[in-house]
């Protein structure tokens, strides 16, 4: 039972990197939170600090199976989100995106509850348009090693908009660009966590290709603020909506910054570029600014300092 006057919010993938931070913010905002995770990439450690809170509930569940609960709103974040993790079991990755979307949309339809889908900048593939506006349809391989994630998320977006058109469901589709911060999985293969772990170990920082490919990095607190503002918009505001930092950095710039901030003796080592790795990725966030009054506030160096401190405490104390 939810407490009187409090909304009960479901967060799938709630024990993951983004999900756990979202749970923190929802609890702080006065919500009852039902956190659902199957712990394939999430961890109970990410939400241990919430277990004693009477307004927080943790449930082990896989979203590829139906979920029978009563809630007032849903954030669907369940899916491995790094290439290392989603390529381990590509069939299950696609099932999580597609079957998971179907199950959560069915739940939202039954409850007449608003639902936010954590989509991804990967729907743009290796973009031929830069920066990427929401109107861009993308340049995605349907048969490459990243397709299980890219195409799974694209199909999930299709399902969300079909449920919206066919059933009048209140949906929000957020396209998340590179996000970093405390509680990132240390072995997720993402460039920020890779560089920090390598630097703290004194190992060479692995830069693929020339290192001139670019990414934009959004600190987790900024992204979660975008989620909450998006969910609070009128039902007519459905997205898809880019949420990310439009300030670009090359991989070499990021590597050099991490080495400097950690004080590491590490050097930079170049390796061949992986198949289908995008050359550039940067969001056009004009719509988020206009509709949400949102833009990232945390500069890269400040966010990296907090993330490095967290990694030191967790893995090198």
pLDDT of residue 2: 47
CA 314 to CA 123: how far, in whole Å?
32
Q: Is residue 149 part of a domain?
A: yes
Q: Is residue 310 part of a domain?
A: no
**pLDDT (average), residues 245-267:** 96
Domain, as residue range, for 116: 8-180+218-245+282-297
Q: Is residue 203 part of a domain?
A: no
SS3 139: strand
CATH number of the domain residue 228 falls in: 3.40.50.720
- Which H/E stretch holds residue 218? strand 218-219
- Which H/E stretch holds residue 255? helix 251-262
Q: Is the pLDDT of residue 16 over 90?
A: yes
pLDDT of residue 277: 67
SS3 305: helix
| pLDDT classification of 104: cutoffs 50, 70, 90 | very high
Q: Is the pLDDT of residue 147 over 60?
A: yes
| pLDDT classification of 274: cutoffs 50, 70, 90 | confident
CA 241 to CA 174: how far, in whole Å?
5
226-262: b or e for each residue (b if 16 or more CB lie within 10 Å)?
bbbebbeeeeebbbbbbbbbbeebbbbebbbebbebb
SS3 97: helix
pLDDT of residue 276: 60
| pLDDT classification of 273: cutoffs 50, 70, 90 | confident
| pLDDT classification of 91: cutoffs 50, 70, 90 | very high
Q: Is residue 308 part of a domain?
A: no
Number of domains in the chain: 1
CB distance 65 to 107 below 8 Å = no
Indicate if 149 belongs to the active site: yes
Q: Is residue 186 part of a domain?
A: no
Q: pLDDT by residue (tens digit) across 119-146? A: 999 999 989 999 999 999 999 999 999 9
pLDDT of residue 189: 82
Q: pLDDT by residue (tens digit) across 170-201? A: 999 999 999 999 999 888 888 999 999 999 99
For residue 193, give both structure tokens.
């966590």
pLDDT of residue 4: 56
CB distance 37 to 12 below 8 Å = yes
Comparing 221 with 273, which gets the higher pLDDT? 221
pLDDT of residue 280: 80
Q: Is residue 250 part of a domain?
A: no
Q: Which of 75, 86, 124, 149 is catalytic?
A: 149
pLDDT of residue 85: 81
- Which H/E stretch holds residue 241? strand 241-243
Q: Model pTM?
A: 0.94
Q: Is residue 185 part of a domain?
A: no
């Amino acid at each position: 039972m939810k407490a009187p006057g409090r909304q009960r919010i479901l967060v799938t993938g709630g024990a993951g990197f983004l999900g756990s931070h979202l749970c923190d913010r929802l609890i702080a905002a006065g919500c009852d939170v039902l956190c659902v995770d199957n712990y394939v990439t999430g961890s109970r450690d990410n939400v241990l600090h919430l277990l004693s809170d009477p307004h927080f509930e943790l449930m082990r569940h896989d979203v590829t199976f139906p979920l029978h609960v009563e809630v007032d709103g849903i954030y669907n974040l369940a899916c491995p989100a790094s290439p290392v993790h989603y390529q381990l079991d590509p069939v299950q990755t696609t099932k999580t995106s597609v079957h998971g979307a179907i199950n959560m949309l069915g739940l939202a339809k039954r409850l007449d509850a608003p639902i936010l889908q954590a989509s991804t900048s990967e729907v743009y593939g290796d973009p031929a348009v830069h920066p990427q506006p929401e109107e861009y349809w993308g340049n995605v391989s349907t048969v490459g090693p990243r397709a299980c994630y890219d195409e799974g998320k694209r199909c999930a977006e299709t399902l969300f908009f079909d449920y919206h058109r066919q059933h009048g469901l209140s949906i929000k589709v957020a396209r998340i660009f590179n996000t970093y911060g405390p509680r990132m999985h240390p072995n997720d293969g993402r460039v920020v966590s890779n560089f920090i772990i390598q630097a703290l170990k004194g190992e060479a920082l692995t830069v693929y290709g020339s290192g001139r490919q670019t990414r934009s990095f959004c600190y987790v607190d900024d992204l979660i603020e975008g989620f909450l503002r998006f969910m609070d918009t009128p039902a007519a505001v459905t997205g898809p909506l880019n949420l990310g930092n439009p300030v670009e950095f090359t991989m070499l710039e990021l590597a050099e910054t991490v080495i400097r901030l950690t004080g590491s003796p590490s050097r930079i080592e170049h390796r061949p570029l992986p198949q289908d790795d995008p050359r550039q990725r940067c969001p056009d966030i004009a719509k988020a600014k206009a509709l949400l009054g949102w833009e990232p506030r945390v500069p890269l160096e400040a966010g990296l300092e907090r993330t490095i401190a967290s990694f030191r405490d967790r893995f090198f104390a």
